[in-house]
Amino acid sequence: MSLSLFDLTGKRALITGATHGLGMSMATGLANAGAQIIINDISGDKLDSAIEEYARNGIKATGYVFDVTDEFMVSETVEIIEKEIGPIDILVNNAGIIKRIPVVDMEVSDWEQVIRIDLTGPFIMSKQVGKYMIERKAGKIINICSMMSEVGRETVSAYAAAKGGLKMFTKNLATEWAKFNIQVNGIGPGYFATTQTAPIRVDGHPFNDFIISRTPAERWGEPGDLQGATIFLSSKASDFVSGHILYVDGGILATLGKAANE
């Protein structure tokens, strides 16, 4: 099999929420595979800082300020990107938030904010970018789902509901747009080493010990661990893969966990 199947040279990828963390790592992977990357944020300052960080790593990123939940703003910006940069070949719906609040304490406004960003945002982005992909009869859409679309955990009900919805939106969109040669898939990250998880990734911390013992790979994921899956689902290598959620979790979802005496 030729490595050219994974070559993204000449492709343009729009990755939402790629100013930091896992989004930045996935965008970096796509850039290293040859893609021209486009990122967004609602903050111009944050966007500028991210573009500088990409440049320090030898990557030219183009940034646009817009809110993924504002359909008018998204529509206008996607049109500008298509004219100024060129056709968007790859869309990665990565932007999202989480609010850890018990159900009885959660305000409806908190619930609706999570649903709007994590589920309605990908719908809006897919709709607006997808219109151009349908015209060209080609495109790759990757929705960043979660293990929480498969299993539950306390205090993240809104996030789990949104990601569960995103999983099914992925499957339905794959079904609806397959005839246009558009592949729609998802990636479900496990627990990753990021700046956000740094305070709990220390030896002796109960949650760190839990994740290490719960994960067959016996470690947290590194941001770079997501790059291969992202490249695969963006490339010709996945042209007959659609409606699939690829869990990158070190094997967590494959096991019940270790027995107490192991």
Q: So which residues are the catalytic ones?
A: 159
Which tokens belong to 111?
A: 């619930």
Q: Maximum distance among all alpha carbons in the chain?
A: 61
Cα–Cα distance list, 230 to 16, 142, 194, 201, 216 (Å): 14, 8, 18, 25, 22
Interacting residues of 150 by C-beta distance below 8 A, sequence separation 6+: 188, 247, 253
How far apart (Å, rounded) are the C-alpha atoms in residues 220 and 200?
A: 11
Write the single-letter amino acid at 158: A
Q: Which residue has the tokens 């817009």?
A: 66
Q: Which residues, listed in sequence order, are joined to residue 106 by a DSSP beta bridge?
A: none
β-pairing, 245-248 vs 61-65, is unpaired
Cα–Cα distance list, 31 to 62, 124, 144 (Å): 12, 24, 18
Whether residue 118 contacts residue 94, with contact meaning beta carbons closer than 8 Å, is answered with no
